[in-house]
Structure 1
């Protein structure tokens, strides 16, 4: 009977022209095939950065590796790169793929006389220094900080005779290959990167007459795109996890560039479902606060009421838990991990100021959500909690993070925060909380100053070879710094190997961290001036701020289609705007 039913199903599948995956799953794998949401593509290296010799002895015909490969090996020995190690020199080559990516590598080993597999060492690097590092060589300053945490980036591999092998995955731009076996020839036809990414359109855009700002906007968008893997990650090499505070700048960038994406909801739900109350998300109380704020912003942009209703029970219980941590004097007493960002991690006074502010912001977000859900009880609870919190006004302690959050919470006048944030320019800016520093400057109308900071701080990473934005960047370290795409030079400060702090010391630091993408969302919101006013982007206010720019144009995704704007500064300094929006959207 089972055989007959299976045969009937088989005939049905044939007659309905079902997709191959569905057919194979039902026909051969009993429904066990799970579709990969990620697209794969192959990339050829663009440059040979270094090789162990240039005398055509250990490394021959290396330029072959820069040519396109169609994936099919042949029995011909023509057009092959040859590696050969001996007792004096190890055959090695360092390849540059031109841009940071997430994925693995494919090595096509060509025909040779002996069929025994040959051993190679593979080192992936987000910088040249990382790809050239030796984890076990503590005699080289900085180089011992390279790790295999979260993803293998330094490993030994056996290559087959006349075969292709794929391994991965990690975040990298550079690949070093060393032939470990001696006195044997290793012919290689190709070394390709296997690029893994979500095949989604870039609906948002930004362009102005400052090419540096254009590149920064695009780099922030690309940084987040790489971190949109199975879930919304922090980093693609290290921290391939869902951190519920860190995702907020990423969500704002996704809203700005890609529009409504299921990976955001999937990641927020992951935080909820893996954090039974009274636990805090990721063990950090502020990250549960950010979860509430993220839901407010997500609904404001996309207006998915059914999804918001799914959060109601957990949200209400979480808000009541937070309120239980507010003292009679209005002071927050949150337990769990007390954390804002790494640069402030050792300053308990600044952390308190930030947590007081974030608690206010979470209650304000909760009030908005409760209103949209028509939950009067929760709405009133949030209003009262916010009023109580405003009774306690901590100092900003001259700290940029604290001043920014106090301003965004409405507890510090913007014109009082701006001098703190702008003190010494980009010095003491941060990759994560830099977004909120920029937002606080916008509240004070300091758009020109904020654009200068973006140009200096995020632009300095580009000057140092960045193609994605970093987990951490100390602005002062840019001086006499070695760019990430250059070979180590003892006379210069190695920006990757010698820098870092906390959990990202030296080469362990991630050079592709989604929380650093804030300028992308900020430039669209404040230079293009696109501000969402009512849920679902039904009402959008457009108020451009060009600063020293002469024009700015771009697009913005909404549930009803893309809004496009173009702003041109006239001779009298006034701005002429052209706006095109779907008919469902009211433009103010």
Structure 2
């Protein structure tokens, strides 16, 4: 017997969807509508409310009404009610303005939610984002007048004029900022605002590494360095979140060392190193600078040492071999480097060609030693032979330090200069003439001479001075002498004091163009883990770890360290007679070697 059922068209469609398979119901929006043309963002978005109002154009409640509303939580949905709004009113006498502090540097934009009003025409506002209060309160120039302290819109817009709709929400960005100023430009206009939320963009990854000691200042410095690099881990590993927002392969090395010690193996590192390789066909130099190609090799050595991805290292073999041979060809018969392209170490040394030569000589030797390590790991005898020959040749030439801290640090790390001689130069004047980028290598050179306590003092002085001046991330450049009588970045400008953001700097960081979140300044984070917690990687993939703590004047230090096999945890407590008692937890498969 056959049962015949007649179905209406709508029921028939539902029947087919339900019983002819799951392919329709399980297909994604990308597959069904956009034919695979949608690409998911790697970055997470989150909202942040301002923590305080630093300044407002009107304190009498006539032009700026109920600004405290902007500090209150907001669920993200407007209503037709006009209640609970902050209101800006501009007239012929005053432009209504508010300056907000979000409490911490972030990367992203802002969302402005405007309420209902009698006039439905859009109103025009000006938005200024700033890494410092001074920047948020400044005007823009076209960067055609060197030495001017006005801000710029280079690389990322931070000064906008836009229209705000009636009963609507707009988003703008992205840039690096902590402070936001909003001005109601239209005179005779009224703008009710329910919220000005920051939209933070970041990789939602755990902080696997940690550092805690009896010095709260060092703890804060470690955390700030980690956070600085975290913000720069955007689609690629950037140098800065306001500018340049580029993959600079020299800047990448200290950033990758911080990532190794805090976040562990991260794909953004591979992506960025590959970007440098793929956009620089030989005989080109990465970013146009020979030293940055050298740093690319050194970074690969350290990334593999910590994370042990041999397959990824093999992917570099062909390019690496060509690059090593290219570098070798730049050594003359006396062993002296003769690198072409842009000759650059860091900004403070950029106008001293003699120091640059000394640094490049050392950096080339460090690179060939890194290349030799990589060749051994790859079982590449020919590449190893090339590196050994280059090392022997480079060791014939001993350049002067010129009493320069950058040169002394690199020459000590390369083994050309004794660690004691390097320390004598590095400790002269303490934190004076330290640098944000090469400060990391200065600290490493001090560790070679056992000057751990002295290095911690310089960390506390130099990087700590940035914290004293209001930093929540570390800067592209910092001249230690400029801390005296300086206005902190979270305060309004004071003409009687030095303005650390607008008045300081040279080169690309003149005035307010300076980046106040620059990953190359994060060196103390990895240094404190390596030398105070004493966690030193001995064999690739962090499979063998030496624990050799150096507490200096600290009473205790504890923390964690990520390996591909799990987390290492250590705690060191100073006992009577300067003896250190240690507790160590390590995952299975990791061999721990403890120094007596």
TM-score normalised by structure 1 residue count: 0.96
Q: Which residue of 2 aligns with 1:111?
A: 116
Q: How does 1:335-354 map to 2 (within 5 A)?
A: 335-354=340-359
What SS does structure 2 have at the residue aligned with 1:425? coil
Counterparts of 1:210 and 1:281, CA distance in 2: 40
Q: How does 1:459-538 map to 2 (within 5 A)?
A: 459-538=464-543
Counterparts of 1:581 and 1:143, CA distance in 2: 54
Counterparts of 1:224 and 1:182, CA distance in 2: 43
Q: Which residue of 2 aligns with 1:417?
A: 422
Counterparts of 2:119 and 2:21, CA distance in 1: 49
* Distance 1:13-1:492 versus aligned 2 partners, 3 A rule: farther
Deviation at 1:571, TM superposition (A): 1.2
Counterparts of 1:339 and 1:519, CA distance in 2: 23
Counterparts of 2:444 and 2:105, CA distance in 1: 28
Contact 2:142/2:152, CA 8 A, preserved across alignment: no
Counterparts of 2:251 and 2:162, CA distance in 1: 35
Task: Identify the match of residue 281 of structure 2 among 258, 276, 283.
Answer: 276
Counterparts of 1:364 and 1:488, CA distance in 2: 49
Contact 1:135/1:143, CA 8 A, preserved across alignment: no
- For the pair 1:227 / 2:227, whether they are aligned, the reply is no
Contact 1:244/1:288, CA 8 A, preserved across alignment: yes
* Distance 1:11-1:132 versus aligned 2 partners, 3 A rule: farther
Counterparts of 2:581 and 2:301, CA distance in 1: 32
Q: Which residue of 1 aligns with 2:41?
A: 36
Counterparts of 1:487 and 1:125, CA distance in 2: 12
Deviation at 1:88, TM superposition (A): 1.3
- The runs of 5 or more residues in structure 2 that have no matched partner are 1-16
Contact 1:111/1:187, CA 8 A, preserved across alignment: yes
Counterparts of 1:26 and 1:118, CA distance in 2: 40
Deviation at 1:475, TM superposition (A): 0.1
Q: Which residue of 1 aligns with 2:584?
A: 579
- The runs of 5 or more residues in structure 1 that have no matched partner are 1-6
User: After superposition, what is the alpha-carbon deviation per residue over 1:224-272, rounded to whole angstroms, capped at 9, x for unaligned?
Assistant: 0000000000000011000001110000000000000000000000000
TM-score normalised by structure 2 residue count: 0.95
Q: Which residue of 1 aligns with 2:339?
A: 334
Q: Which residue of 2 aligns with 1:131?
A: 136
- For the pair 1:365 / 2:370, whether they are aligned, the reply is yes
Counterparts of 1:498 and 1:553, CA distance in 2: 39
Task: Identify the match of residue 390 of structure 1 among 388, 395, 408.
Answer: 395
Contact 1:137/1:143, CA 8 A, preserved across alignment: no
Counterparts of 1:95 and 1:501, CA distance in 2: 29
- For the pair 1:54 / 2:59, whether they are aligned, the reply is yes
Q: Which residue of 2 aligns with 1:169?
A: 174
Q: Which residue of 1 aligns with 2:5?
A: none
Task: Identify the match of residue 45 of structure 1 among 50, 56, 64.
Answer: 50
Task: Identify the match of residue 314 of structure 1 among 319, 322, 334.
Answer: 319
Q: How many residues align?
A: 577
What SS does structure 1 have at the residue aligned with 2:577? coil
Counterparts of 1:177 and 1:535, CA distance in 2: 52
Counterparts of 1:269 and 1:403, CA distance in 2: 31
Q: Which residue of 2 aligns with 1:247?
A: 252
Counterparts of 1:305 and 1:320, CA distance in 2: 22
What SS does structure 2 have at the residue aligned with 1:165? strand
Task: Identify the match of residue 65 of structure 1 among 59, 64, 70.
Answer: 70
- For the pair 1:544 / 2:567, whether they are aligned, the reply is no
What SS does structure 1 have at the residue aligned with 2:357? helix
What SS does structure 1 have at the residue aligned with 2:92? coil
Deviation at 1:141, TM superposition (A): 12
Counterparts of 1:406 and 1:185, CA distance in 2: 64
The two structures, once aligned, show a CA RMSD in angstroms of: 1.7
Counterparts of 1:405 and 1:135, CA distance in 2: 39
Deviation at 1:572, TM superposition (A): 1.7
User: After superposition, what is the alpha-carbon deviation per residue over 1:371-421, rounded to whole angstroms, capped at 9, x for unaligned?
Assistant: 000000110110110010000000000000000000000100000100101
Counterparts of 2:344 and 2:326, CA distance in 1: 18
Q: Which residue of 2 aligns with 1:403?
A: 408
Deviation at 1:86, TM superposition (A): 1.1
What SS does structure 2 have at the residue aligned with 1:166? strand
Q: Which residue of 1 aligns with 2:243?
A: 238
Larger CA Rg, structure 1 vs 2: 2
Counterparts of 1:84 and 1:78, CA distance in 2: 16
Deviation at 1:487, TM superposition (A): 0.4
Q: Which residue of 2 aligns with 1:96?
A: 101
Q: Which residue of 1 aligns with 2:563?
A: 558
Contact 1:551/1:569, CA 8 A, preserved across alignment: yes
What SS does structure 2 have at the residue aligned with 1:578? strand
Counterparts of 1:12 and 1:146, CA distance in 2: 56
Q: Which residue of 1 aligns with 2:3?
A: none
Contact 1:145/1:505, CA 8 A, preserved across alignment: no
Counterparts of 1:335 and 1:143, CA distance in 2: 33
